[in-house]
Amino acid sequence: MRRPFICGNWKMNKTVRESEIFAQQLAALLPPSLQRDVAIAPPFTALHSVALIIRNTPIRLAAQNVHDRPKGAFTGEISAPMLLDIGCQYVIVGHSERRSYFGETDEWINKKIKAVLENGMQPILCVGETLEEREENFTFSVVERQIKGGLQGLGIDGISKTIIAYEPVWAIGTGKTAEPFQAQEVHRFIRKEVEKLTSQEVANELRIIYGGSVNPSNISPLMAEEDIDGALVGGASLSVDDFLSIIMYK
């Protein structure tokens, strides 16, 4: 059985104080016997303070990006050992905003994923097509390239620790969610691709989460789909009420 995974990606939002208040409020509202995995990805500047607040709660810490090298002369970058040190359990890698604004390639993303795994954390590999690619029927070929490129050389062990987030670029921050059946068909395709790289058993256990304008009203129909195992939530994860409603979907 795949345990649902809900992760909030705050992107470039919230000061340290705002992040602390959010973490305190969410921690106080989460039921103790929650059968779901919950993580938040604050900006780098707030990771340490949030880590201290969520230490004895069910909330886990995620980072939004990482550099592939462990240390050295890379001004402005943050390494995987640093993220582990601060208490991160998950790292988002290859988000479409990083691919499009910062030129991240599948090859580079693959190196970052390896760095995350080598440091005992779990990568959340983001994949997804643009509107143009969807309209030209390239959805599956684009996602296939991103999956194969991102997971290259990880081995069964590495792949089984990876979470894949399908985030169609046209649904991110647009208020336009993929219809549950549209997301499901890509999630199913991703699971089949992972099966080819590993085994049916590994593919069946792999968590594939959906991202793109997820909100309290569309989460339930998305989660009702067979191959959708959770959500990577942007805008709606900035409000404690909305994020909590998403976590507590029925």
Q: Which residues bind ligand 13P (CB under 6 A)?
A: 9, 95, 167, 172-173, 211-214, 232-236
Residues present in the chain in total: 250
Helix (H, G, I), strand (E, B) or coil at 45: helix
The residue annotated as part of the active site, out of 129, 167, 187, 193, is 167
Side-chain-side CA neighbours of 30 within 13 Å: the count stands at 25
Cα→Cα distances 202→111, 157, 171, Å:
22, 9, 28
| Marked catalytic residue, from 95, 97, 129, 133 | 95
Q: Residue 127 is encoded by which pair of tokens?
A: 């994949």
Nearest residue (CB) to ligand 13P, 167 versus 193:
167
The CB-of-58 to ligand 13P minimum distance in angstroms stands at 21
Instruction: State the Cα–Cα distance between residues 126 and 236, nearest whole angstrom.
Output: 18
Beta partners for 164?
125, 208
Q: Kindly tell me which of 198 and 243 has the beta carbon lying closer to ligand 13P.
A: 243
CA distance 51 to 64: 14
8 Å CB contact between 108 and 68? yes
Residue whose beta carbon is closest to ligand 13P: 234
DSSP code for 165: E
- Minimum Å distance from CB 211 to ligand 13P? 4
Cβ at position 99, least distance to ligand 13P in Å = 11
Least distance (Å) from ligand 13P to the CB of residue 224?
19
Element spanning 189, H or E: helix 180-197
Q: 8 phi and psi, to 5 degrees?
A: -95, 125
Q: Is 95 a catalytic residue?
A: yes
Active site residue 167: yes
Q: How far is CA 25 from CA 50, 88, 214, 243, in A?
A: 12, 20, 21, 11
The residue among 59 and 198 lying less far from ligand 13P, judged by its C-beta, is 59
Give 9 or 146: the residue with its C-beta nearer to ligand 13P: 9
Of 67 and 98, nearer to ligand 13P (C-beta) is: 98
Catalytic residues: 95, 167
